[in-house]
Amino acid sequence: MLKLNQVSKSFVTKQGEISILENVNLHIGAGEKVAIVGPSGSGKSTLLSLIGLLDTPTSGEIVITGESLANLSEAEQAGFRNEKIGFIFQSFELISPFTVTENVMAPLDIAGEKVNQESITNLLDDIGLNNRKEAMPRTLSGGEKQRVAIARALVKKPAIILADEPTGSLDRSTGEKVLTMLLEAVSDSHTTLIIITHDESIAKRMDRVFEIRDKGVYERN
């Protein structure tokens, strides 16, 4: 479902070229739940950006659902990203002038797809937001905001959800509840989940754990 073959990433800065990831090989199956751990600055967000087509590798190949991303034009990459990938960020990234329902529907609107109100209602029910449908983001708690972001990530039934420290700005008990909802949602829909975390209790709840160190990605046994 997701393959990285000899993927390297470096950035050109004023100080010269800095290499962040070198010859990374990764193979993740459909429906697997995977944690990526590693120290701050080790390249976790960079790796997620490459997988999510927000950035391109310096060398190597990324294949998602059989499609080699390097062969796609920029427009095709944007289309692929909208269709196949859901993103969840630590800082929620909700659209503040939009209601909860409008935030969840936004990916469908962007893709010009017809909105099935019943499926939106079901999604909000599943994630425990049925009484906040018309609420504005600023009136929500952190846990509620992240549940909106989860519903929004799921609405187009992506093949993969990429989550960068999704519970990083929540207190522990709220974070655990939100994570449980996310895990149930991806299990029900057989969606692959890749979650960045530095929280061992989160990593333990995943099927597999990968560590980034010395510019490489290694599976933990």
Q: Does 197 bind ligand ADP (CB under 6 A)?
A: no
Q: Does 97 bind ligand ADP (CB under 6 A)?
A: no
Q: Does 13 bind ligand ADP (CB under 6 A)?
A: yes
Binding track over 24-43 against ligand ADP, x by CB under 6 A? --------------x-xxxx
Residue (14 or 138) nearer to ligand ADP, CB:
14
CA separation for the pair 192, 200 (Å, rounded): 20
Indicate which of ligand ADP, Mg ion, none lies near residue 41 (CB less than 5 to 8 Å, by partner kind): ligand ADP
Of positions 45, 101, 103, 192, contacts ligand ADP by CB under 6 A: 45
What residues are paired with 89 via a beta bridge? Answer: 164
Q: Smallest Cα–Cα separation from 215: which of 23, 3, 4?
A: 23
26-45 residues in contact with Mg ion (CB under 5 A) are: 44-45
CA separation for the pair 76, 70 (Å, rounded): 10
Q: Does 57 bind ligand ADP (CB under 6 A)?
A: no
Q: Does 146 bind ligand ADP (CB under 6 A)?
A: no
Distances (CA, A) of 48 to 4, 6, 101, 212: 12, 15, 27, 12
Handedness of CA 123, 187, 56, 74 (dihedral sign): negative
Q: Which segments of the chain does DSSP mark as H helices, in order?
A: 44-51, 74-84, 100-110, 117-126, 142-154, 172-189, 200-203
**Residue 14 Cβ, how far from ligand ADP at the closest point, in Å?**
10
Rule CB under 6 A: which residues touch ligand ADP?
A: 11, 13, 20, 38, 40-46
